[in-house]
Amino acid sequence: MRQIILDTETTGIDPRDGHRLIEIGAVEMVNRRLTGNTYHQYINPERSIDAEAVAVHGITDERVADEPLFADVADAFWAFIEGAELVIHNAPFDVGFIDHELGMLNQARGEPRLGPVAEHCRILDTLRLARDKHPGQRNNLDALCKRYEIDNGHRVLHGALLDAEILADVYLAMTGGQTALLLDASASGEEEGEAGASGGLNVRRLSLSPGTLRVQAPDDAEWQAHRDKLATIRDAGGECRWDGLNGWPGQEAP
């Protein structure tokens, strides 16, 4: 399955008040693996950016004054997301802005028409997912990073591409971790240090030669803790399925 983890930055809160997109960041994931393909674009919004918005993302009028208009990048952006499942934190906000931009573009251009997003892409809102999993708790991106032990120390201000990369880690952690972990990055064409998560922890891929992975046997204290745990299970349930596994240690010391 192809998924696009996406984030935007804007001039303000509501496109109905004339606010516009100023940055789009997105990363591609196929079968829960980051591919390394990204989309990142600053946009000239043709209007001023609210001071409150600048305080959040740090993007000023001067920064985007020489960037292309949305109309100039819309086709490339649409080609990147069309047909994918979009993974977005607080999806109604980002999708609302994208649809607003597409609507204005379609009105000016006529044909071919782009969007609306929901008619061409599935949408997964990770904020809604987080609220279902953690009701009554803070579920913004920073809070989720802390909950799932994802390093976001390099995130001082919001930025669309950085937030999309962090959200990819959060999404994988919330939904069970990465399904496949390659120890040899060069074999898959991926770069070392590519973002990923397994069980809420960032993954750094290592290149290991066959036979170099050392297996560490448990010490006496760890074996005793294992036996104590099995005894607790037997006392509570009357039996322990572990005892029936051939070749696995049960009550006896190694």
Q: Max Cα separation, the chain? A: 78
How would residue 191 be classed by pLDDT, with cut points 50, 70 and 90? Answer: very low
- Whether a cis peptide bond, with omega within 30° of 0, leads into 112 is yes
Residue by residue, what is the 3-state secondary structure of 21-55? EEEEEEEEEECCEEEEEEEEEECCCCCCCCHHHHH
Is the pLDDT at 192 greater than 60, yes or no?
no
- What's the whole-number average pLDDT of the chain? 84
Query: Over the Cα atoms of the chain, what is R_g?
Result: 24
Summarize the confidence of residues 154-181 as an average pLDDT: 81
Write the pLDDT tens digit of every residue in 44-83.
999 999 999 999 999 999 999 999 999 999 999 999 999 9
Is the pLDDT at 251 greater than 50, yes or no?
no
What pLDDT shows up at residue 74? 98
Q: For residue 144, what are its two tokens?
A: 């989720």
The alpha helices in 148-183, defined as continuous H runs, are: 160-174
Segment among 68-82, 86-100, 189-203, 208-222 with least mean pLDDT: 189-203
Going through the chain in order, the beta strands assigned E by DSSP cover 2-10, 21-30, 33-42, 85-88, 122-125, 197-198, 201-202
Query: 52: which strand partners?
Result: none
Q: Which are the catalytic amino acids?
A: 158
Summarize the confidence of residues 19-48 as an average pLDDT: 97
Summarize the confidence of residues 76-91 as an average pLDDT: 98
Is the pLDDT at 203 greater than 80, yes or no?
no
What pLDDT shows up at residue 247? 54
Segment among 1-10, 27-36, 158-167 with least mean pLDDT: 158-167
Residues 6 or more apart in contact with residue 17 via CB below 8 angstroms: none
What whole-number distance in Å separates Cα of residue 251 and Cα of residue 254? 9
